[in-house]
Amino acid sequence: MKPSIRITLQLLAFATLAALSIYLSPKYSNPFKYHFEIGQPWAYGLVTAESNFAIYKTEAQLQAERQELLRDYTPCYIVDTNTLQSNIYVLPLSEIERIHLLGCTKVSVLYNRIATQVPVSNLHTPKEAYEITHKNLLPNLQYDSITSEKWRENLLSSISLTQGAVQAGEKIIDTGEIVTEHTYQILESLRRTIEEKNISHRQSLTSTIGTGLYIVILIVIFALYLFTYRRKLLDNLRNILFFAILMFLMIATAFVILQYASVNYIYLIPFAWAPIIARVFYDSRTAIFMHIITILIISVAVPAPYLFVLLQVITGIVAVISLRDMTQRAQLARTALWTFLTYCVLYTAITMLMSGSLKGIEYNYYIYFAINAVLVICAYGLIFLFERTFGLVSSITLVELTNVNSNLMLEFAEKAPGTFQHSLQVSNLATEAAKRIGAKVLLVRTGALYHDIGKMTHPECFIENQSGVNPLQSMSYEEAAKVIIEHVTEGERIARKQHLPEVIVHFIRSHHGTSVTRYFYNSAVNRALSEGKTEADVNKECYTYPGPKPYSKEAAILMMADAIEARSRTLNELTEQSIAIMVDQMIDTQVADGQFSETKLSFKDLEDIRVVFKQKLIEINHHRITYPTIEEK
């Protein structure tokens, strides 16, 4: 991909993330963006009344006053003159039961436009009327719903919605003060007063622009971090898409919850997913930095940002520290436990710090934290999804691939036993070298096990699998070199057929880099010289591996370990001196050949690797004592 196209796509990915985040952010509704609860400390600055406003009664107060007034409420009934046969008022049983449910002690009877209040005890069912008059009387009162509702509304309308007022300039609450029931009522009245005012289009536009600038600045900071400290990640479009999608999932979920559900439900979202998933595929610093940027973006819409940012940032850091290199699924359970404990301890500490007591603790939060921790365990499914989607490889996958009892490894050991043993030895050497220089040990171990699987196609052509007969001797030097070189392309073919990760495929393709099959090339040159020709008459490309060169420290370590382990088997005498000379020669040749030009190996790394290889080869090939035999007398 051309650099200009790659940069354009990178900018497009970041711009899309910013645009979607701005679009989904809860829209500006009013300037009163405080979140408060009774018994909780006030987490903001001093609040004073900018103008006079009334204190609204609470719903409980209004309900109590309604019930008090409705005690005097009398539903209206009209006398049906057609059925009125005596002074006894008769109603159906269902209607009398309804009156009792309303709690009325009297009803208003309208007769000739004159309303008379009649005690409920004077109303009778047809059965009761019969027992009194010994006559079958029909119901003679009809409920007047229109008049009754009008009387009820007039009665309730007399209730005042407010009680008292707050004067302009009067203090309402200050930082750290506990929100009491009275203060809560005043704050709710202030919020309601502000909401009832019409907010201008200019205010809404200004708020949207401010939110947009805030989000854009944070995303630019993240891009600058990648540019400055993780340039290699930034140059790969796949990585940018990974970060953008992961951040968007967290941001979108949070904004939707804040817009359509209770604000407290924000603590149900397992924000630790983002740093955990990023840490599995990348490094701790990048995971934490991305997490902080994501949380700061979300905080623009959270009612209590101070508490939210502290809880989420610190918990995310703890999750990354507790995870390290995830090689077992059980590690997620441990991380979930640490997440829960961190949430609980931090929330309790912050509440005690601000309120000075335990009274301000809202215990529902601990339930949210517990659910959050359980959801953290579900990150395993997302790890698998991201791994397959972006072609990444996790430590869990690498552990599974190092299983020598897998079908592919068993087939490898059966078809090419000598090569399989060679791969095991290379794996041991490369692992120790990776430990010494701080490279990815598990990645090197896995790549070493698979680097020579292409030899399964023609195992008899490689000396470690032969038992006396060498098919290459009947071939020309060029044909033999072709067979040897093909184990790289065959290895790639087998790896892709087995759906091995791309990073393992790179180990297979690059473990010889662009080096030359020295035995056959040198032999061909010597023959050409003996025939009066020059070295230029030998087509060097026919003896050169297709590459590419290693692009990582791990792939470079494998290249060195592979060459050195193979060369060690050609030494006639395995001494400390011979091993040291051989190791130095092999590494110097590869360095001079430019095989490590695309890696970040330092001179110190190379020296440390030399020391490790020399020590390990001496340990592997140390002499054993000769067991004495029993001498015959």
pLDDT tens profile 448-485: 999 999 999 999 999 999 887 889 989 999 999 999 99
Given this model, what pLDDT does residue 444 score? 96
Give how far the C-alpha of residue 105 lies from the chain's centroid of Cα atoms, to the nearest Å: 63
**178 occurs within a structural domain:** no
Considering the domain architecture, whether residues 263 and 352 belong to the same structural domain is answered as: yes
For residue 322, being part of any structural domain is answered with yes
Whether the predicted pLDDT of 226 surpasses 50: yes
Whichever domain contains 596, its CATH number is 1.10.3210
The whole-angstrom distance between residue 547's C-alpha and the CA centroid of its chain comes to 36
Looking at the DSSP bridge assignments, the partners of residue 78 are: 110, 142
Q: 128 and 17, same structural domain?
A: no
Q: Are 514 and 492 found together in one domain?
A: yes
Gap between the Cα atoms of 32 and 222, Å rounded: 30
Give the per-residue pLDDT at 453: 97
In a domain, 462, yes or no: yes
Termini Cα distance of the chain: 82
Q: Is residue 555 part of a domain?
A: yes
pLDDT tens-digit profile of 3-49?
788 888 999 999 999 999 999 987 654 456 677 778 777 877 788 88
| Range from 19-23, 234-238, 284-288, 316-320 carrying the lowest mean pLDDT | 234-238
Q: Give the residue ranges of DSSP H helices in 299-394.
A: 305-323, 330-355, 364-377, 379-390
Predicted pLDDT at 195: 67
pLDDT of res. 30 = 46
Task: Tell me the residue type at 247.
Answer: M
- Look at the chain and report how many structural domains it folds into: 3
What is the band of 169 on the pLDDT scale with cuts at 50, 70, 90?
confident
Q: Identify the residue with better confidence: 625 or 603.
A: 603
Work out the burial of residue 632: count CB atoms within 10 Å of its CB; fewer than 13 is exposed, 13-18 middle, 19 or more buried.
exposed
In a domain, 163, yes or no: no
Number of residues assigned to the chain: 633
Contact by Cβ (8 Å): 376, 273: yes
Give the range among 87-96, 199-208, 234-243, 320-329 with minimum mean pLDDT: 199-208
49 or 2: which leads in pLDDT: 49
Q: Is residue 474 part of a domain?
A: yes
User: Which is higher by pLDDT, 11 or 200?
Assistant: 11
- pLDDT tens for residues 551-597? 999 999 999 999 999 999 888 888 889 999 999 999 999 999 999 99
The residue among 375, 390, 405 that closes a domain is 390
Residue 317 confidence (pLDDT)? 96
Contact between residue 444 and residue 494 where contact means Cβ atoms under 8 Å apart: no
Question: Is the same domain home to 379 and 412?
Answer: no
Tokens of 20: 């979607």
User: 255 and 278 share a domain?
Assistant: yes
Torsion of CA 273, 278, 283, 289, to 10 degrees: -70
Residues 146 and 99 in one domain: yes
Is residue 126 within 8 Å of residue 136, measured between CB atoms?
yes
Same structural domain for residues 67 and 132? yes
Asked if 536 and 481 sit in the same domain, the reply is yes
Model pLDDT, residue 366 = 94
Query: Residues 230, 330: one domain?
Result: yes
Q: Where a domain ends, among 371, 390, 409?
A: 390
- For residue 305, say if its preceding peptide bond is cis, omega within 30 degrees of 0: no
**pLDDT tens readout for residues 349-401:** 988 887 666 776 888 899 999 999 999 998 888 888 999 888 888 888 899 99
Residue 80 DSSP code: -
Q: What angle, 0 to 180 degrees and rounded to 10, lies between the N-to-C axes of helices 502-510 and 477-497?
A: 170
544 secondary structure, DSSP code: B
Inform me whether the pLDDT recorded for 191 exceeds 90. Answer: no
**Which of 338, 360, 390 is the last residue in one of the domains?**
390
Of 163-167, 169-173, 203-207, 273-277, highest mean pLDDT: 273-277
Question: Which one has a higher pLDDT value, 53 or 250?
Answer: 250
Q: For residues 371 and 441, state if they share a domain.
A: no
Return the closest-CA partner of residue 445 out of 493, 481, 400: 400
Q: How far apart are CA 23 and CA 221, in angstroms?
A: 20
For the record, the structure tokens of 158 come out as: 């007399």
By the 10 Å C-beta count (0-12 exposed, 13-18 middle, 19+ buried), 177 is classed as middle
Tokens of 107: 């009803």
Same domain, 361 and 419: no
Confidence of residue 130 (pLDDT cuts 50, 70, 90): confident
- Taking residues 487-491, report their average pLDDT: 96
Q: Tokens 């507790």: give the residue.
A: 322
Question: Does 495 map to a domain?
Answer: yes
Q: Does the structure show a pLDDT above 60 at 200?
A: no
**Amino acid at the residue 564:** I
pLDDT band for position 159 (cuts 50, 70, 90): confident
Q: What percent of the chain has pLDDT over 90?
A: 51
pTM metric for this prediction:
0.70
Give domain status of residue 325, yes or no: yes
| Contact by Cβ (8 Å): 86, 133 | yes
CA distance 250 to 420: 45
- Confidence class for position 202, pLDDT limits 50, 70, 90: low
281 lies in which domain range? 3-26+202-390
pLDDT digits (tens, 9 = 90+) for 98-117: 888 888 888 898 888 788 88
pLDDT of residue 481: 95
Whether the predicted pLDDT of 88 surpasses 70: yes
For residues 554 and 591, membership in a common domain is answered with yes
- The proportion of the chain whose per-residue pLDDT surpasses 70, expressed as a percent, equals 94
Tokens of 223: 């891009």
Please tell me the least confidently modeled range out of 165-169, 242-246, 523-527: 165-169
**pLDDT given at position 29:** 46
Measure the CA–CA gap between 402 and 427, rounded to whole angstroms.
Answer: 10
Arithmetic mean of pLDDT over the chain: 88
